[in-house]
Amino acid sequence: MEPHAARVLVADDEDDIRGLVCLAVRRAGGTVVAEAADGPTALDAARSTVPDLAVLDVSMPGATGLEVCTTLRAEAATAGVRVLLLSAGASEEDVARGLASGADSYLAKPFAVAGLVARIRELTTGGTA
């Protein structure tokens, strides 16, 4: 029997980054169920599709990835969604703030697609490749 393909929401306000993340999701064996270019759209998409994983850019218009993550955690229907934050901010404080918002993982930009694929697999399959 085929394993369940992880359902992933990809949210980034930069088209090229969003495209790279979608590529990484597919390489990791996942399915992109929604794409968003801003925080409110990402939140609406998460509520309607309830993905297994949300890959959120920290700096998005309307609502940051941190705000989207905090809201997902606060709502019963989306509290279990795994969250991977992407950010150009890579200081210890940035990472700590991201994890404090409820994120499961944090990856600094720029990132290698192979590294992102590995992180997505880790978050959606519990570490099995």
Q: pLDDT by residue (tens digit) across 15-56?
A: 999 999 999 999 999 999 999 999 999 999 999 999 999 999
DSSP letter (8 states) at residue 2: P
pLDDT per residue as tens digits for the range 67-80: 999 999 999 999 99
pLDDT of 90 reads: 85
Q: Between 42 and 125, where is the model more confident?
A: 42
> Which residues does 74 contact at the CB level (< 8 Å), separation at least 6?
none
Rounded to 5 degrees, φ, ψ at 121 are -60, -45
In a domain, 48, yes or no: yes
Half-sphere exposure for 54 (CA within 13 Å, toward CB): 35
In a domain, 2, yes or no: no
Q: With DSSP H G I counted as helix, E B as strand and the rest as coil, what are the percentages for the chain, rounded to 5?
A: 45, 20, 35
106, two tokens: 């944090």
pLDDT > 60? residue 113: yes
Q: To the nearest whole number, what is the mean pLDDT of the chain?
A: 94
CATH of the domain at 11: 3.40.50.2300
In a domain, 1, yes or no: no
Number of domains in the chain: 1
- Boundaries of domain holding 91: 7-125
In a domain, 82, yes or no: yes
